[in-house]
Structure formats: structure tokens, C-alpha cells
Structure 1
Amino acid sequence: MATSIATIVPRLGGASDLGTHIFPSIYGGLIDTKQWQGKPYLVVNTASQCAFTKQYADLQKLYDTYRSAGFGMVAVPSDDFNQEFDSNAEIKSYCALNYDIDMPMSETLVVTGAQAHPFFKAVHAQSGFVPKWNFNKVLVGGNGQVLATWGASTRPLSQKLTRLIEAELSQPIPPIQ
């Protein structure tokens, strides 16, 4: 199942960065990772009926703590592990009522296999990481590189995660090429 050990991926040159990705927003419209260019962002595959679902509260706290500094986040509901509600409306309602979520959240997407969202395919190509369960976390640095990945048992407010976010936020924004 999930592991709490982070996979730290070495920084590479910009040629193999993730680029920008667009997620359909559960609130309508689109979430474009380009808005966080030069800053770190976290992508978490979520599920509303999982034992780790209570992490939504800490994900929101993490987002609230760092968003004013430019940190981004996308919660990506997925039923890949058969623990998500049947509709985006149910997910949206559940998250609003139980966790007062206002962080960016996509519509339900596939995160593993041939039908995975292009972001997860790009993460796999760059780092070898594929979500093994719900609430896996991918931290992307301002340079478009996967900085680290964590399994479900790593808490969103853990020092290993927040230290990397803070270190990345302290870096100068790289020039756009």
C-alpha cells in the first residue's frame, strides 16, 4: 500500500520539465499550472471515501499557509482505487460541507494507466512515479521538475513536505525562456 518515504528526484535541466498542464476545474473553468510558473505547486490524487480523506483539512491548511507566497495546489479526485463518489457534484458538495475546501480541485480524473491525465503521464516519464493509492503527493518545483513524491501516509503538513515548499518559495523565479 502507501509508503511515507518520499522519493526525492534530482533537479534536472529545463529541457525535461513538466511544462504546463490544464485540469478541468470541479468549480467550472480550467486550472492551468502556468499560473504557478516559477513557483512550486502540489498535485494530490484524492478520494472522498478513503481512510486518508481527512487529509483534505490539512491540504487546505497547507494551501492557506503558502498561497499568498505563490504556492499552488491541485486536488485531483480519482476513482482509480474505487473510493470516489460517482459524480463531481457529490465530491464538490462533500468537500465543501465537511472540509470547507476552496483550494483548486479538478473534476474526477484518471491518474494511472494508459488513460491517465497528461500531468500524471509526464510525472511518470520524468520521475518514474505513479500513484499507488489515494492521497499520493507530487511536488513540482518552480523549474518544472518533480522535486519529490510521497505516498498517502505522508501528512500534508509534515516537515519534510513543508521544508521543501519553503525552500522552493525562497528561490528566485527563473526567467521565462
Structure 2
Amino acid sequence: MAVSRVFVTLALACASGAALAGECPALLQHELPKLRSKEIVNFCEQFNGKALVVVNTASHCGFTPQFKGLEALYQRFKADGLEVVGVPSDDFFQEDNDAEKTAEVCYVNYGVTFTMTQTQPVRGRDATPLFRELAEQAGKAPSWNFYKYVVDRHGQVVASFSSKVKPDDPQLIEAVQKALSN
């Protein structure tokens, strides 16, 4: 009888785990390697139920100083449930091939504390599945570095912004607040 009770408990645990996995939006059903780490960023585990700003970054771009504004945005809204995810990409030929140098730009030069992944393709047929999903929902793939997607707590893109839109732009702030309230 004790064995069958254990079996039922395990079956219920598996069923509830499957239900939880099913509740994770398609946009979050991705994993990417974390920058300068052996850890994997599991989007469902880390970001389910949170609003996101996902941005493709580059270390040697005229827009690289936006790291400072992205960090300020993250600090301003993280207590409300915002996460910022930076995804370095060399799709526009402005990212270093050395992850150590990329990490130095992010963490040392700009004091980034939000999640950064290893370099990934973000456009075209080679785009990582996360960016294919973002582009599909937004109707637009990144056209340059520091393209920003704002995602609500349900995994839906509510807005996207070009590289020229700074992280403190009132329209981006409004989109973040909308994503947090959904």
C-alpha cells in the first residue's frame, strides 16, 4: 500500500509539473547559454509571469552606451517584475568574437546586472528561436543592434523599438508600464 501511495504522489507531481510547463507561453519556451558562464538561461523558469525587455546588443556599436540606460530601466522596474535580457549578436558585425571581451564591456564598462546571454544570431534563417518568435509577434526582426522588444507577463510582445529609441524614451517607458500591468 505504501508503494502505491508513493506512485500516486509521483504521478500527481509529474502531472502538476506538466501543467506548469504547459502554462509557460511559447515565447518563453527557450533556453540560451548565459554570457561567460556554464549556466543556461531557461526562460520559462526565470521569466514566466514577468514582463521583459529583450534587446540584441553589440559591444562595438554607436548604440553600446544604451547599456547604461537599459540598466537604469531594469533598476527602476525590477521590483515591479521587469526583467531585461541582453542577447549579444554579431549579425551586424559589431560584436567581439571573445566572450570575455563582451562580458567586460557589459559588466565592467557599463555595470550591467541584468541577464546577458552568449552571442546569438537574431535575424534571418539562422536566428535563434527566441528571436524568430519575437520577430513573428512584432512583425519585425531587428534591423540593427539594440532593437528592443517589450513583452508582457503573458509572453506577448506589446511593442518593439528601433535602436534609435533610448531606454528612457517616454514611449518605451509607457510600453514597459503596460507590459507590467497586463
TM-score range normalised by the length of the shorter chain: 0.7 to 0.9
For the pair 1:146 / 2:176, whether they are aligned, the reply is no
C-alpha separation in 1, matches of 2:166 and 2:80: 21
1:145: Cα distance to partner? 1.0
Which of 80, 95, 98 is the equivalent residue of 1:87?
98
Amino acid at match of 1:145: Q
Structure 1 counterpart of 2:74 = 63
C-alpha separation in 2, matches of 1:155 and 1:90: 24
- Say which one has the larger Rg: 2
TM-score (norm 1): 0.82
Amino acid at match of 1:104: T
Secondary structure of 2:41's counterpart equals strand
Q: Percent identity?
A: 35
Check conservation: 1:17, 1:143, Cα contact below 8 A: no
Check conservation: 1:36, 1:70, Cα contact below 8 A: no
For the pair 1:33 / 2:31, whether they are aligned, the reply is no
Check conservation: 2:36, 2:99, Cα contact below 8 A: no
1:38: Cα distance to partner? 2.2
Higher relative contact order (CA 8 A, sep 6+): 1
Structure 1: state its 5+ residue gaps: 1-13, 172-177
Structure 2 counterpart of 1:119 = 130
TM-score (norm 2): 0.80
Structure 1 counterpart of 2:84 = 73
1:17: Cα distance to partner? 4.9
Secondary structure of 1:83's counterpart equals coil
Secondary structure of 1:107's counterpart equals coil
Structure 2 counterpart of 1:162 = 173
Question: Cα RMSD (Å) of the superposition?
Answer: 1.9
C-alpha separation in 1, matches of 2:109 and 2:120: 21
Structure 2 counterpart of 1:4 = none
Larger helix share, 1 or 2: 2
Structure 2: state its 5+ residue gaps: 1-22
Amino acid at match of 1:31: V
1:20: Cα distance to partner? 2.5
